[in-house]
Structure 1
Amino acid sequence: MNPEIEFIKCIICGVDDTITVLPGIVKCKKCGLIYKNPRESEKKEVQYFSKIDSAEHIEQVWNDSKIKLFQEGLKLINNLLPEKRKLLDIGCGHGLFPKMAKEFGFKEVVGIEVSQIAAEFARENLGLTVYDKPIREINFPDEYFDCITFWNVIDVLSYPDKDLEETWRIIRPGGVIFFRVHNIVYQLPLKKKEKIFRMFGFSPALLHNYGFSADTFKRLLEKCNFTDISISNSKPTAGDPYKTSKYLGEWFVRLVKSSLYVLSEIIQVISLDKLFISSALTVYAKKPSKIKKILEIITRLDMGGSSEVVLSICKNSDKQKYESILVCGYGEKAENLDKYYSTRIIPELVRNISPLEDLNAFFKIYGIIKKEQPDIIHTHSSKAGFLGRWAGWLYNITQNKNVKIIHTPHGHVFYGYFGRFKSSIYVALERMTAKITDRLVAITEGERDESLNYGIGKIGQWDIIHGGVKSLPEKLSDVREKLKISKDDLIIGTVARLEPVKGVKYFAEAIRVIDMKYPSLTCKFLIVGDGSERKKIEAIINKSGAKDKVILTGMRDDVPDLISAMDIYVQPSLNEGMGITIVFAQFLGKPIIGTKVQGIPSLIKDRERGLLVPPKNPQKLAEAIVELVKNKELREKIAGNSKKWATESINGYRRFSEERMIH
């Protein structure tokens, strides 16, 4: 057997099951990779290329035809790498690209070129550091380079998989690997008709050791553990530097190449990035960073579960793995955030719809994304979710990025908040925006199921991660004495923003029903919270004659103490994603009454972990309250089941713990 000839297996899937597509050219049946087999050994090829000059000594090739491609490549790399430190160009020829990279601002630029003539030219004439041997023989330090480029060279290498493994070793986490590679989808059909083309003076196709398509090249990069892979049609070289047309001249080649490029772009769009037919591909990928940067975007940091969850994520995420940046509007909890969190405040990011402020907030979010270059965008709540996700989509499109977009609604707004027409608009917008969202996170099974019923996303997009709830203080204060409530009185209470969606006015109506039908019940009612409906709720209570039995505390910081004082907890919401106060009540072993809306039935199993009633129904709510007041055995059963379920350990974490949410 000739030692200078070698037979090889597919470098992607490792099998030797091929079909012949051209003499000496085979195609892997499993993955579709096209390559020469048999071929000259790597040693012989290196010896051959080391003794010849590269094509870049022709000015029309290295200057006239490629300089614009190099400029665009550097702009793209600049967008991917804000800090331009160390770059390695493999197959650097006479050194034009390394020279341009140095002028562009890279502090250290190194080239590899096995052609000794070209390497010497780059060293002597351009003052570059250029090695004239293969990358696997140089032994660069681990994680040394920020960017490594391959300009039309990866398909020439004998073992690109091994060279990419070495590339992985020497590029830092978060570093960028960039390629311009010939596209076999374009090259192979022309190669098959090469004899016909040559009859008319054309030689439009080439095939080196490997013929990569977008699919097979992506598979190779994934095999070598690179991520964030982006593939696009590469613009053609200018003019006809390689003299592919003998008779019709440069103008004809320019026309054909530009026309084919436009056609390839159209086909890419129509095929939704599935088909690339240009003569070459532009590809970049990243070595995963050890620390991923996450933008957490929320409208306002007000009192409420979503704000608590976002702050918990920012505070408790593993700092060795994640860097969290909080983007939010003003709110009760937005003061002095910079002391504890990396924060970007956008004053225009408000809850109510305001076209001018919303547009301003959108572009400010986009600007923050562009500056911070996150790995993940995680949006929370409806308004920030819409603006943040579309800003992320625009960033990905305009900057050729692949930032992952995750959205946690913290409960949908498809009923209970607005009228039918306005709700239908929200549903339509959420359906559309779900299409550009990588993952959707529901905080309860009920939220996910109702969202799917409204056509929001697909089942495979959804994950369920319960909102994390802080552990309760070891010692709780007895507030009964402060509230002037007898130890013999049963307290039925709720904690909520006094806004329409929380349904507290129906709780007030239920109190009126109880006062009318069961005046002898010795119980007190406690309403904790404040909001736009407070006066309306006070008016209902005053009309009922139960004023002396009801305490409205306003906003309080001692919510766990107040829930601890209650004997029955009520959640009368018209819509609720989860309800952190329900979980507090479960932790404290309280019997609970909740409405059958969105996420509440996921927490309360009727007559086992609480009682469920229809929303907006004071009569049914009153009946449920009276049943629990009169039936101590049912109260104790529900309280015990509820506490056991809420405090159950799952995979080493309490069901609703912040630790379980984070992990």
Structure 2
Amino acid sequence: MIKVLHCVNGMNRGGLETFIMNVYRNIDRSKIQFDFLVHTDKKCDFDDEIIALGGKIIKIPTRKYGFLANRKVLEEFFNEYKDYKIIHQHLSSLSYIVPLKTAKRHSVPVRIVHSHSTREGGSFLHNFIHKWNRVFINSYATHYFSCSDLASKWMFNKQVLNSNSYRIINNGIQTSIFSFNKEKRNMVRDNLGLDEKFVVGHVGRLTYPKNHEFLIDIFNEYLKTEPNSVLLLVGDGELRSQIEKKIKDLNLENKVILTGKRDDISELLQAMDVFIFPSHFEGLPVTLVEAQASGLPCIVSDNVTKQVKITDNIAYVKLDNTISTWIETIFEFKKRHIRRDRSEYIIKARFDIETIAQDLQDFYLNCSHSKM
């Protein structure tokens, strides 16, 4: 059996973590097993499932406890566990690639760096380190994955992008569970008490990149014309209290539903009528693939890669456009959009997770065998 060591911050419910789990559920685990090197001492959303699927979770200290402590634990880990032939590090920036560097020193033959974003907020030092490592990433990684063209340009230099070791890996989904189902939609809406309301929806962590405050401004303005509407926000994060304050300041407590973390995203998407995604920056959002599969019209910022436009359900709006432009786009969809299943588009565009999991499985097996 081949063991793949995935290096992440933690396995909470988010875009890149959901992608990894989607792959993990669909690979042949008699041939390949995933283990997880995580930079947190807290229990994460997917930990129980990882253990149930046969994986291990190895916790190491983050850099906030000191660079030397972080490096020392990594050195001890690779000294003890010498059976890993593949390390797969998932990143939003190159400001922290110590696991890759350590893996190279310990002669791990396959070292994958995987870009999942087009930017990451951080200090001047973090941005400087990212740019520095971008120049020299070829010295530490052997293979380079990315979720989109924009994420590739952010993470990799031209030499990498022109190499045979670079590839784009689509953020795939379990297409069948997101297919539009009218009966399920009616049931979910009834359970949520939405009745005949028009539901503006969003799925994502309550963090700066997702731009929830602007989304609330859009909804607040839309509500003046369409008062029988509700904003459904699915997710949680460090900005929750700030977002709750904004909702209260605008007197929207009875018009906004904050669900927190949920594991029934496929059902909640059924309940929505339009999906708004005004992100500051993104890699390739899994939730936009899921929303399209369910037939939802999606209105997204122009900072999101065009690669995620799999169906004709997506309209792009410049983030610096007026709120009225976003609202006009909602009305345009309301006039012409007919909700129906679009899962065949997802499969044809090779965003179905079964296809992607098989491709990654073949890659891991071929790499491992060639390095033995």
TM superposition score category, shorter chain reference: 0.7 to 0.9
1:634 and 1:352 map into 2 onto residues whose CA distance is 51
Equivalent position of 1:513 in the other structure = 221
User: Alpha-carbon deviation of 1:336?
Assistant: 6.3
Structure 1 stretches of 4+ moved >6 Å: none
Q: Does 1:463 align with 2:173?
A: no
1:571 and 1:465 map into 2 onto residues whose CA distance is 22
2:22 and 2:226 map into 1 onto residues whose CA distance is 45
The alignment of Structure 1 onto Structure 2 pairs a total of residues equal to: 349
CA offsets 1:443-479 (integer angstroms, 9 cap, x no match): 1233224434x66833224201112212453774622
Report if the CA contact (8 A) 1:604-1:610 is conserved: yes
Q: Matched residue of 2:38: which SS?
A: strand
The code of the aligned residue for 1:648 comes to I
Shift in alpha-carbon separation, 1:320–1:294, aligned structure 2, 3 A: same
Q: Does 1:358 align with 2:90?
A: no
Q: Matched residue of 1:612: which SS?
A: strand
1:529 and 1:314 map into 2 onto residues whose CA distance is 22
Shift in alpha-carbon separation, 1:490–1:629, aligned structure 2, 3 A: farther
Shift in alpha-carbon separation, 1:575–1:645, aligned structure 2, 3 A: farther
Shift in alpha-carbon separation, 1:317–1:482, aligned structure 2, 3 A: closer
The code of the aligned residue for 1:509 comes to D
Equivalent position of 2:329 in the other structure = 627
User: Alpha-carbon deviation of 1:333?
Assistant: 1.9
Report if the CA contact (8 A) 2:235-2:262 is conserved: yes
Report if the CA contact (8 A) 2:6-2:87 is conserved: yes
The code of the aligned residue for 2:9 comes to T
Q: Does 1:527 align with 2:229?
A: no
* Unaligned runs of at least 5 residues, structure 2: 360-372
Equivalent position of 1:391 in the other structure = 102
**1 or 2 for the larger relative contact order (CA 8 Å, sep ≥6)?**
2
Equivalent position of 1:73 in the other structure = none
User: Alpha-carbon deviation of 1:380?
Assistant: 1.7
- The 5-angstrom pairing of residues 13-162 of structure 1 reads none
* Unaligned runs of at least 5 residues, structure 1: 1-290, 397-401
Q: Matched residue of 1:480: which SS?
A: helix
The code of the aligned residue for 2:21 comes to L
CA offsets 1:506-554 (integer angstroms, 9 cap, x no match): 1112223334xx4445322111112221222122222334433222222
Equivalent position of 1:497 in the other structure = 205
Equivalent position of 1:485 in the other structure = 194
Mark the structure with the bigger radius of gyration. Answer: 1
Equivalent position of 1:662 in the other structure = 358
Equivalent position of 2:315 in the other structure = 611
CA offsets 1:556-596 (integer angstroms, 9 cap, x no match): 22211111100101122222111111111111000001122
% same residue: 19
Equivalent position of 1:540 in the other structure = 246
Shift in alpha-carbon separation, 1:552–1:433, aligned structure 2, 3 A: same
User: Alpha-carbon deviation of 1:498?
Assistant: 0.7
User: Alpha-carbon deviation of 1:338?
Assistant: 3.0
The code of the aligned residue for 1:377 comes to I
Q: Does 1:427 align with 2:138?
A: no
Equivalent position of 1:201 in the other structure = none
User: Alpha-carbon deviation of 1:365?
Assistant: 4.1
Q: Does 1:648 align with 2:339?
A: no
- The 5-angstrom pairing of residues 63-462 of structure 1 reads 292-319=2-29, 321-329=31-39, 330=42, 331-335=44-48, 337-348=50-61, 350=62, 354-368=66-80, 371-382=81-92, 386-396=97-107, 403-412=109-118, 414-415=119-120, 417-419=121-123, 422-452=126-156, 457-460=160-163, 461-462=165-166
CA offsets 1:597-648 (integer angstroms, 9 cap, x no match): 25x321137x944111234x4x645522343235434434xx66x9367423
Q: Does 1:577 align with 2:280?
A: no
Report if the CA contact (8 A) 1:408-1:442 is conserved: yes
Shift in alpha-carbon separation, 1:381–1:362, aligned structure 2, 3 A: same
